[in-house]
Structure 1
């Protein structure tokens, strides 16, 4: 087995572990949920977010979405398949009550993938207001 094959297996295992952590722990890392549970869930008060901060956050999300589209436009077939798998992973499980935000997140990810495919074919979509 070549070094590249070993690296690919290692990458796949790391990805599987990361996805399992998101599914089982809501994405918390080594200092996330475990720390909260051990400390009887100490709540941290978050400051209120004003209109200015929400506006700046909105701008950042638009920029990140467009960056993701650009990166997906140059992705290989297996990478696009992996992105589609991720959209299916974040959809509600069959044994769970569907949550509107989860459903919308999965649909949004699928939309980003589809928009990137239009760039792959050479089509230049028109910009929409607010995107």
Structure 2
């Protein structure tokens, strides 16, 4: 990939992250629990190889749930 393509990919990922955050922010607390549960599922077991990308993905999922909870429902203005 060229540098320009990598930059475009990063911009798109940031946009998608913010869309997901906005969608999560309007959901009940049970939805955050499901996100955290999925993060736990993808986390490596104690006896398994600790893959750094999987660990980081689970961490990001938990951070997403935390950030969405802070935003709470978005008021229509």
Unaligned runs of 5+ in 2: none
Partner of 1:104: 56
CA distance in 2 between counterparts of 1:113 and 1:80 reads 5
Give the TM-score, by structure 2 length: 0.86
Question: Of 11, 15, 23, which aligns to 1:71?
Answer: 23
In structure 1, list runs of 5 or more residues that go unmatched: 1-48, 123-131
Structure 1 ranges of 4+ moved more than 4 A: none
Q: For residue 6 of structure 1, what is the aligned residue in structure 2?
A: none
Larger Rg: 1
Deviation at 1:118, TM superposition (A): 1.0
Structure 1 position 83 matched with structure 2 position 35: yes
Give the paired residue count: 74
- Who is 1:32 aligned against? none
Structure with more helix by fraction: 2
Residue deviations 1:85-123 (CA, integer Å, cap 9, x gap): 11111111233110111111111111111111110188x
State the TM-score, normalizing by the size of structure 1: 0.53
Q: Which residue of 2 is the match for residue 59 of structure 1? A: 11
Choose between structure 1 and 2 for higher RCO, CA contacts under 8 A separated by at least 6 residues: 2
Deviation at 1:50, TM superposition (A): 1.0
